[in-house]
Amino acid sequence: MLAELAEDESVEDVERSDPLQEARKSPTPKEHSPVKKTVAKPREKAKKVAPNIDLKDVAPVPTPEPPPVPDAQDEPDTEESDVSKAQEDGDPAAVPEPQELTTPEPEDKEPERAKNLALLGSEVLPGTSTRLGWSAGIQIAGLSQPTPVLVVNGANAGPTLCLTSTIHGDELNGIEIIRQTMYDLDPETLSGAVVGIPIVNLPGFQQGSRYLPDRRDLNRHFPGSKNGSLADRIANSLFEKVIQYCDMLVDIHTGSLKRTNLPQLRADMNNPAVAEFTRGFDRMAVVHSTGSPGMLRTAAVNAGIRAVTLEAGESHRIQEHQIDAGVNSLASLMEKQKMISRMFVWGDPEPVYYDSAWVRANHGGILFSKVELGAKVSEGEILGYIADPITNAQHPIASSSDGRIIGMAVDQVVMAGFAAYHIGTKAKVSGE
């Protein structure tokens, strides 16, 4: 089934079911009343103080988003107003100023006390951590399963770092990277907030599929739209409810289709803020890529959020070495951003690969690699062989250039044209 889904994009005909959606309002099925633009948006309002949960403890079931609150009908659409509302709840730690989305560079002063973090209908108090739930509102009532969102709001002010994983439902290493990263945080000493969504594409994850139930690639639909396809709506919901509140975003992925990636960042190095951001990641090669339209990191950067993709390993697997690299690098990032203070030993700067190219198999057969992930290779060097099981021919695959193997296929049966080795080239030393 998975193989059938791959690359199958011929589903555009379902878009034809859309024209009935004339009114620009929520797509919830119950709203079949004729066009009436005054219908209150079922937008969550921050009313409830999130329970302080020690993330190291074994979990209760995540808190679902509270249903729309009837008395919130005249609220303006801006979620900034949520913060001051916490005052009504008698919350002593609430600060009446609007939430700052861009945090100034931390200075060496007395740490400033953090504010409440208003997210997904809850107020997360400074110095606490909790589990929330995000729902895209696309399911039949009662069938919706909230997507868990972990939040650690530090006691001290600072930026909000968001971590997302498993936008492609079969990419698993990031789930564990986020768990280890977040469960290791102490809210009392953290400056800023960390918001983690370990499994963004819950339906895909449950089916072991990269895609959404409509066979679309969610990571081509950001920032999405309210009236678009299923993928557009899910993307829009995630972006509106969570991503737009991030100052920084690390979206964690793996290679696809039995290919593995060296732990690496994909980043638009033409963007100075993003390029500077990449320098906070310890021991991470950087592959320059402007990104495709619809990618979460592209949409986030367009929204003024410093965002990168972190690639680690291959899909369908939990790989300890790759996970360790990701966890280490996120710790270094938080240290660099002055969110945590930890004795951190930095490795040598990794190069930035401003260019990269795939070397493809020219024959069908069984691929056997001679090189390892991360190997430095020269032009013409034999990277592996394709063995034809019928003719017994051995077809060598040679490197197209000098560079480094930043991604490669695992040994498998391939056909001609299969992209086998990803070679990063034009290396420069970062940190200039």
Residues making contact with Zn ion (CB under 5 A): 168, 171, 253
Minimum Å gap between C-beta 223 and Zn ion is 18
Minimum Å gap between C-beta 112 and Zn ion is 37
Give DSSP secondary structure letters for 21-79. --S-S---TT--SPS-TTPPP------EEPP---TTSPP-PPPPPPPPPGGGTT--S-T
CA atoms of 13 and 90, how far apart (whole Å) = 52
Minimum Å gap between C-beta 336 and Zn ion is 25
Minimum Å gap between C-beta 170 and Zn ion is 8
**Is residue 167 a contact partner of residue 219, using CB atoms and an 8 Å limit?**
yes
CA atoms of 2 and 222, how far apart (whole Å) = 23
CA atoms of 355 and 368, how far apart (whole Å) = 25
CA atoms of 212 and 210, how far apart (whole Å) = 7
Minimum Å gap between C-beta 177 and Zn ion is 13
CA atoms of 211 and 13, how far apart (whole Å) = 18
Minimum Å gap between C-beta 168 and Zn ion is 4
Is the Cβ of residue 25 or residue 168 nearer to Zn ion in the bound state? Answer: 168
What residues are paired with 307 via a beta bridge?
249
Token pair belonging to 64 = 């679902």
Is the Cβ of residue 171 or residue 314 nearer to Zn ion in the bound state? Answer: 171
Is the Cβ of residue 192 or residue 407 nearer to Zn ion in the bound state? Answer: 407
Minimum Å gap between C-beta 167 and Zn ion is 6
Which regions of 126-247 does DSSP assign to beta strands (E)? 128-134, 147-153, 156-165, 191-197
What residues are paired with 428 via a beta bridge?
352
Is the Cβ of residue 65 or residue 171 nearer to Zn ion in the bound state? Answer: 171
Minimum Å gap between C-beta 124 and Zn ion is 28
Is the Cβ of residue 2 or residue 69 nearer to Zn ion in the bound state? Answer: 2
H helix or E strand, kind and range, residue 352: strand 351-360
**How far, in Å, are 55, 216, 256 from residue 204 at the CA level?**
25, 10, 14
Neighbours of 270 (CB within 10 A): 10
In the bound complex, which residue of the shown chain has the CB atom lying closest to Zn ion? 253
Neighbours of 65 (CB within 10 A): 21
Is the Cβ of residue 44 or residue 171 nearer to Zn ion in the bound state? Answer: 171
Is the Cβ of residue 151 or residue 307 nearer to Zn ion in the bound state? Answer: 307
Token pair belonging to 162 = 């968001």
Is the Cβ of residue 168 or residue 363 nearer to Zn ion in the bound state? Answer: 168
